[in-house]
Chain A
């Protein structure tokens, strides 16, 4: 009974969905279930799963990050152009990419928290700015090609592993990111992020530096985009189209994972499972020979359906608190002068 309830709740539904999709794919194409194929599927999903994990932190804290896709593109182009064929440049350029990632996250976070611009707008601006920079630099064409040793990170793996033959590095990276994320959600920081998405005022009134907590989630999300970019250089090559749309894929995955938009509720493992479910669905559509041009449309339907599901009673709606009290009832925080009308009655 309880197991069924958990599985039907947004938190569990995604695992049910994922299992169903994987079975469906296997039915259509039995070779999919072979260990070698399966591990290749995981390798393909890894960059997406990693950004979904980053996006999870932003969303569960009550914000959005739309700049992830462009940041991936920027990182891919940087790696392609600055590393070139010189293996000695790998580490300096990697350091530069990390710095850029942190910087983008800081700018996003500080604009949202200190200037109080909605994150939707800030990260949309960041997305366009980064994309503009990339286009200016590359002229919109594929340029640069980093040394093979760098690309190995995304496409290579440990050979000679029993059963699966090759264990891709990207799968290891994903596992490491997931482990770090799970650990993070259990720390004070992680708990505060979720509480912040639930009730920012309560967190502020507890003395937390909420601006810094929120900013950190943007830094985390930018870092995951950077890692994803590094893997994609190897996997997909260098092209200003790499990374495009990843922000929406990440948001869809997170929502599919039952994470409540607006924050306060959700599990990072489920968010990652959302990424896998999404890719499994696309694989299924592929095998079923549904034209790939329908992908975006289907993704849109999924976002809406997932949000609607978690808002339905079955999906556990009504779990969030009643709407905030109307202006007059809320004690001075928005601070308006003491109204004389209330006095001396």
Chain B
């Protein structure tokens, strides 16, 4: 294995106990392209091992090889000291190696208990012992310190965070010695992340080894005892977390140091005329919206989960139009009653969930990127098709050509395809709903840079984000939403505390 100067010695505790899982020299190819080569990793009981790297570095692939979803092309895996080779996730699970994938494998119409014991239901006199299943699930949940999930509740009624807990419970019911988690917090709200932390710490205390993948470096430092960095499918370093800081970790991940996460406004950016003006806007989900977006100006929108930020974005975009109030674009009154009308008026929405609304996953990069232009501005199609390579280049999309299906791109590159789709429509008002979710630090900086460039070119921007540093770092004006209303407006550079306080405060006069 290659070592480099950043490869600090593994702490002593590791040599005292044996690793529960040791993968050596793993390699994997897809259609002749190496996505993993010579990667080794060791997991120790009771320790949380962070796995980080840029989009497409091979983190998910590594996890899937360990879990038996993909078969490795080379290398060895030892589990409990024995060489293993799982051909199916269920086999790995039975052996005690569980994985919580980003897409859950739960049956929504079955109960929590049925999901936990699926495929090996306890029997009693030949029949499934429903009651026993519920009691045993309740016990497992209690072990995790969870008392708010009813084992007899249907999974479809649970929130994302709760479903994740069910997945973890399922792993525990198999007496898992190793649990890997792939970006488990990507869809969680702040307080749910805290809950997950607590569960992970509890699991570690019981001697479970955890493999944890996340793009949120703060979580990596909060949780992990040691950190392995991958880049372009190759091993970069393995270091105790205590010996790293964010700047150093970023440098290991992207191969260069990033000095400014949030680029400052570009030269030539001049806040101009009002592009979008909403007065008293509302519908079933939001109310009393007064909002002004100006050319060259970035408006940040903060708020808790459920505050109505996405609903506001969808109202502007015509997906769930305003039913009250007035809306003007460039000073002229406009009625945006459909997505098509919004796109025609020069509005673009980068949606929060790229797999649900952003991309047709089975189609090529080309066809996804051109989808909006060809649907709405067919006359500009030829020009857009000609501009496409340039746009993808600026976004630094890494794909195997524009014919590749987007489902085979890593998360960050998928997001770039979504951005390309909207850039090609030459929008004048851009709404970005959680634009950096699931993308790596390098790509984040690229997105910020792009936002700045749009602003310079006179686009009005509304930036919605759950990550306060992002809103604060980028926005010229910060709005806070609560309960479907805009409750506060703060100047650029406000502190996180101030924004958070504004976002949790009830609006003046209370809510109806």
Contacts and interface: CB of A to CB of B under 8 A. Distances in A.
B160 interface: yes
B276 to A, nearest CB: 17
B314 A332 contact: yes
Could you say which of B157, B163, B351, B371 has the most chain A C-beta atoms within 10 Å of its C-beta?
B371
Given A194-B363, A326-B163, A342 B305 contact: yes
B408 to A, nearest CB: 9
B137 interface: no
A339 B306 contact: yes
B197 interface: no
Contacts of A328: 156-160
A4 B339 CA distance: 44
Contact of B361 (A199, A329, A330, A344): A199
A265 B407 CA distance: 13
Contacts of B306: 338-339, 342-343
A337 interface: yes
Contacts of A202: 356-360, 368, 371
Contacts of A203: 360, 371, 375
A202 B370 CA distance: 12
A330 to B, nearest CB: 6
A201 interface: yes
Interface string A196-215: 00110111111111000000
Interface stretch (B176-184, B341-349, B391-399): B341-349
A161 interface: no
A324 interface: yes
A116 interface: no
Nearest to B407: A321
Contacts of A194: 360, 363, 367
B356 A330 contact: yes
Interface in B289-333: 304-308, 310-311, 314, 319-320
Nearest to B318: A207
A192 interface: yes
B498 interface: no
A320 interface: yes
Contact of A207 (B104, B342, B370): B342
A337 B311 CA distance: 10
A160 interface: no
A330 B314 CA distance: 13
Interface string B87-110: 000000000000000011010100
Interface in A294-340: 319-333, 335, 337-339
A293 interface: no
Q: Interface centre among A204, A326, A330, by most B CB within 10 Å?
A: A326
A156 interface: no
Nearest to A260: B362
Nearest to A188: B374
B375 A332 contact: no
Interface in A186-242: 188, 191-192, 194-195, 198-199, 201-209
A191 B365 CA distance: 12
A331 B310 CA distance: 8
A114 to B, nearest CB: 14
Contacts of A264: 360, 362-363
Contacts of B353: 325, 329-331
A321 B320 contact: no
B355 interface: yes
B304 A199 contact: no
Given A264-B360, A329-B187, A344-B304, A205 B483 contact: no
B328 to A, nearest CB: 20
Nearest to A207: B343
Given A205-B339, A331-B310, A331-B351, A265 B375 contact: no
Contact of A326 (B108, B305, B314, B361): B108
B320 A332 contact: yes
Nearest to A194: B363
A70 to B, nearest CB: 32
A342 B304 CA distance: 9
B155 interface: yes
Contacts of B340: 207-209
Contact of B156 (A191, A321, A327, A333): A327
B285 A335 contact: yes
Of B108, B187, B353, B360, most buried by chain A (CB within 10 Å of CB) is B360
B320 A206 contact: no
Given A338-B306, A343-B304, A343-B306, A326 B156 contact: yes
Interface string B171-209: 000000000000000010101000000000000000000
Q: Which of A188, A194, A324 has the most CB of B within 10 A?
A: A188
A89 B407 CA distance: 54
A324 B304 contact: no
Nearest to B349: A205
B381 interface: yes
Interface string B15-53: 000000000000000000000000000000000000000
Interface string B111-129: 0000000000000000000
A161 to B, nearest CB: 40
Given A337-B285, A338-B484, A198 B361 contact: yes
B73 interface: no
B284 interface: yes
Nearest to B425: A207
B319 A205 contact: yes
Contact of A332 (B310, B359, B360, B363): B310
B358 A205 contact: yes
A195 B367 contact: yes
A268 to B, nearest CB: 16
B275 interface: no
Contacts of A344: 304, 482-483, 504, 506
Nearest to A332: B311
Interface of B: 103-104, 106, 108, 155-160, 163, 187, 189, 191, 284-285, 304-308, 310-311, 314, 319-320, 339-340, 342-344, 349, 351-353, 355-363, 367-368, 370-372, 374-376, 378, 381, 405, 407, 421, 482-484, 504, 506
Given A188-B378, A206-B371, 14 more contacts: A192-B371, A201-B357, A205-B339, A207-B375, A325-B355, A326-B104, A326-B155, A329-B163, A331-B356, A332-B285, A332-B310, A335-B285, A343-B307, A345-B189
30 contacts: A188-B378, A191-B370, A191-B374, A194-B360, A194-B367, A195-B368, A199-B361, A202-B356, A202-B360, A207-B372, A209-B375, A264-B362, A319-B407, A321-B355, A324-B356, A325-B160, A327-B108, A328-B156, A328-B159, A329-B163, A329-B187, A330-B356, A332-B311, A332-B314, A333-B314, A333-B357, A337-B285, A342-B304, A343-B482, A344-B304
Please give me the 6 A-B residue pairs with the lowest Cβ-Cβ distance, nearest first: A342-B306, A207-B343, A208-B375, A188-B374, A322-B103, A198-B360
